[in-house]
Amino acid sequence: MSGFIRGGQLVVKFLLLTTIDNTREFREALAEIKAEYGEILSLRKVYFSDWERGELELTQVEEVVRSADVILVDIRGQTELTDHLRKIIPESRATTVVVLVGGSREIFSLNRMGSFSGSDLPQGESNSFDIESFLKVKKFTELTKKIGSFLPVGKLKHMRNWVLACEYYAEGGKENLKNLFLFLLREYYGAKVKVKPPQKMPPYGIWWPPNHYFTDVGGV
């Protein structure tokens, strides 16, 4: 089991590779986890925008990738950095790599959770459905049934874990991100934590607590 010990407690090193900035939600989620369970994880984030602006060196990316225990992958397009990551991630010490959004076959191949890997996913045109389209419209139940229909029994649990992780991330918000971390810690590091199921977020709505006004339309 990887990770490092701090104050007698195992700390799991998470890395998020992302093209979007949801720092506030992650910060709030991590703060709640720390308050409830102590420092059981750390999180580093690599933004593709930093790479594109020349603010991030490849050696820096390689260092954080190779030292991570769990890598969360939110890659929504092909770039030069993506090509590098496809070479680096398989060589890292990470025992769990979770591809959280629909992407190319090459990106899906990076996924590894227990005995389930991206190579187990359907091969595109030769199959009757497209995984990316399922993830985009959040049809997680149907996706589980489809993939589960041809996977060996031993891999089904980890495949369902992957689908559930994608659901946490797709629904978003502090609570879902918090439970995404707790879920992965429980399933792959044996952490004794309480995990709630994904909370469904409406496609649009109005939140109006005292002295605050917030609108969210269509995820924009």
For Cα atoms 8, 9, 11, give the angle at the middle one, nearest 5 degrees.
135
The whole-model pTM stands at: 0.80
Range of the domain at 145: 4-217
Closest CA to 121 of 130, 45, 67, 199: 130
For 103, phi then psi, to 5°, come to -155, -165
Provide the pairing of β-strand 9-18 with 116-117: unpaired
Give the model's pLDDT for residue 129.
Answer: 44
Show the DSSP H helices in 103-173 as ranges. Answer: 105-108, 131-136, 140-148, 153-171
pLDDT at position 214: 35
Per-residue pLDDT 10s for the chain (220 aa) are: 566 555 556 799 999 998 777 788 999 999 999 999 999 999 999 888 887 788 888 888 899 999 999 999 988 777 788 888 888 998 899 989 999 886 677 788 889 999 988 877 765 554 434 566 666 656 667 767 666 666 667 788 898 898 899 889 988 899 999 999 999 999 999 999 999 999 987 665 554 555 443 333 333 2
Amino acid 148: pLDDT: 64
- Kind plus residue range of the DSSP H or E element containing 9: strand 9-18
Distance (Å) of CA 155 to CA 33, 66, 143, 147: 29, 26, 15, 10
Give me the number of domains the chain comprises.
Answer: 1
